[in-house]
Amino acid sequence: MAQTSTTILASKGHKNDIGAATDIRFEASGNTIATTTTNLGALLQYDIIIITGSTSNNSTFTIKSVATNGLSITVEEVIAEEAAGDSVTINHVGFVSAKFKGDGYYSQPDGVHTISYQLSAGYAAGAVIKMQGTLATTPTESDWFDISGTDFTTDGTTTIKNVSFNFTGNLVWVRAKATGVTDDTINSILLNH
């Protein structure tokens, strides 16, 4: 099979945090975080959020879907049932990309992948971008693992960053993950295999 180049993430950046809302409730039956008036519509599928101020759900979550009315989100992880009332804060801290086929999906014997991170100038110091992989054909959030040697930690300089890494593995699916994102934008993440 010929090499394939794919844009796995295009222009993505930090979103404003949602803070001190007392109408946020947690519904365990659908892993749903819902509100009556607080708008969650700025959040998107694949965003990573941290919940604080909750009695039972102070944790990190990956968004699976957002309701069209912006009043609820479904997350990948399991949540505990909890009524509204606490002063809950939702902080946007990063995102993952959608999953993309790795060499293992095509039964390629070499497993060689190249990834390129292209960041805009002034990206906040301390943000970490890395690749994750899975051997599962239908992965859940717990099936993903970090791929060694693909981490890039931003230094806050005002120059545009273009960095690339090679990694080897017969991975069925791969994705990018960015955490510690507080401002500015990832221009793109490119995958070649």
What's the DSSP call for residue 122?
Answer: T
On whether the pTM is more than 0.95, the answer is no
Measured CA to CA, the distance from residue 169 to residue 187 in angstroms comes to 26
Task: Classify domain 18-93 at the CATH class level.
Answer: mainly beta
The answer for residues whose C-beta is within 8 angstroms of residue 116's C-beta and 6 or more apart is: 162, 163, 164, 188, 189, 190, 192
Among 73, 84, 81, 77, smallest CA distance to 32 is for 73
pLDDT mean over 104-132: 83
82 vs 100: CA distance, rounded Å: 35
Confidence of residue 160 (pLDDT cuts 50, 70, 90): low
Q: Which CATH architecture has domain 5-13+96-192?
A: Sandwich (2.60)
pLDDT of residue 175: 96
Average pLDDT (46-71) is: 96
Domain parsing of the chain, residue ranges: 5-13+96-192, 18-93
Contacts for 142 with CB less than 8 Å, ≥ 6 apart:
none
User: Which pLDDT tens digit goes with each residue over 59-82?
Assistant: 999 999 999 999 999 999 999 999
The confidence band for 1, taking pLDDT boundaries of 50, 70 and 90, is: very low
